[in-house]
Structure 1
Amino acid sequence: MMNLKKNLAYLVRHLREKHRLSVRNRHTDSEVWYMYISPLNLLAGLLAFVLILFIIVTTTVAYTPILDLVPGYPGSRSRTMLVENVMRLDSLEMELRNMQVYSENIALIMAGKNPVTRNDIHTPDSASPHGGTTVAPVAEDSLLRSQMETPSGAYSLDDPDAARKSLRSSMELQSPVKGVVAEEFDPTERRYGIGLATTDNQQVMAVADGTVISSGWTPEEGFVVYVQHGDNMVSVYRHNARLLKKAGERVSRGEIIGYTGDGRTAEGSKKLFEFELWHNGSPVDPRRYIVF
């Protein structure tokens, strides 16, 4: 400890005095290399090295994605994703407000009142009790209300068959398979479609243009495919032997999407091909729209 203090005191007193730093051969004790250096030069060189290292590290962190490789550290990629998510959230919030305004205006029209144009989509307006300005009544509003209230109207709320008529008139559905209806549509018995007796390995066709939203296999139902169509309609095809389409693929009316199965039940009877038709989230009888 005393020698260390003496050496430090010596270096402090002789900061500018040069010292000989040499490298000697251990075997021959001959000098191989030497240089003259002062403690002040050594300190300045160390500070310069630290400064250069700091500049290199700062530049690397600022202009390269090296922090993304550090586990748990929010790098530039994470910050970019955060900004994108915030923008998406803002867009969704705006869409929800627009939908709310639309629903409120429909309710006002049905009640015989004038709809309101919202001004608070971006900035709230406290001048109006509804946060917007009243829209002058137009003939289209009265026409819509009369169609909703008239029993024979196309959009009648009192006619339970109006939605079915609209759906049937707007679509021309293809029969998915050729077969005999063996089980009728009966939601009370948890039969949300019909059962068809078909031949083995028969072509299964899409009933209308649409997009496959699910395609998979289960032990109870075999290969099952769901197709989303227009007018919020979904067709379901169960007990297939194999499928030709995957989720996300577009299909056309009459296009082959699979083949019927040849499976057997526990009693030995052949499994029926099951077809379901859903509209606005509710099952409908396929025989009302398709001739089997």
Structure 2
Amino acid sequence: MIEQVKTRKRNWHTIYRLVLRKDETLEEVGSYRLTLLNIYILLSSLILVAMGLMAVVIFFTPLKRLVPGYAEPTQHPEYIKLSKKMAALEGELTSYKLYYEHFNQLIRPPDSINAPKVSYTSKVVTDKKGKDTNGKKVNSNEPAKAPNTVLNSSPGMTILNLADYRYLMPPISGVISSGFDAEIDHLGVDILAPHDTPVKAIWDGHVITADWTLETGYTIGIQHNNDMVSFYKHNATLLKRTGAFVRAGEAVAIIGNTGKMSSGPHLHFELWLQGKPVDPTQYIDF
């Protein structure tokens, strides 16, 4: 048994000569001395090198995706990148949808079926001669006029009173340099204030627009209750984004001088009620 083991070891180290000759002339081209151990080491090395190259090609190229069970599709970098883009687009779509819905409510009048109607048909106190308490002759079939109204009534529209808005806060403390004038299409008031003064929300509401335009620069709009919308224009920077909820008196922007329609640092403030611009000085004490 021991002799057989020794014989096998000698066979591994037995030297052989590999001679290369031309077939036609039997001319010797080359001669190599080899052992079985050398041949085994050479073949093993070639196999290991081939396997290493194959592993590099598979794991460092897109071919790795062909390997069963290598990775889940959701773990691929491209899939993750596309998922993030889709999430961002979905968020923008939601913001634009909210923006559209709020402005659609401003542009369209309330539905005459669903909107509450206010009817001032209370009887006027008259005497036997058909005169009121002030001595003026009145028509008993004519509805009484609502006191202190600010908007003309129309079908399906609720008449608003100044008293309903006595709690509105001024967006900024300053001097009014230009007042409301619908005839020249100046649908708000211009307020002068020191540099870097914060612009505040006049009441609780949701931001329906917060963007930059060529004419009005950085502009933010807030939807309040009672179909009321406030706009703050020509800001230096905005502090809130579309869809954000703000409280009354909360800073939403910084006063500035942005936009082509601005000739100096100021705040252009607009107040809209039921889709119509109104004079803010009638509702807010600046």
TM-score when scaled to structure 2? 0.47
**More relative contact order, 1 or 2 (CA 8 Å, 6+ apart):** 2
TM-score when scaled to structure 1? 0.46
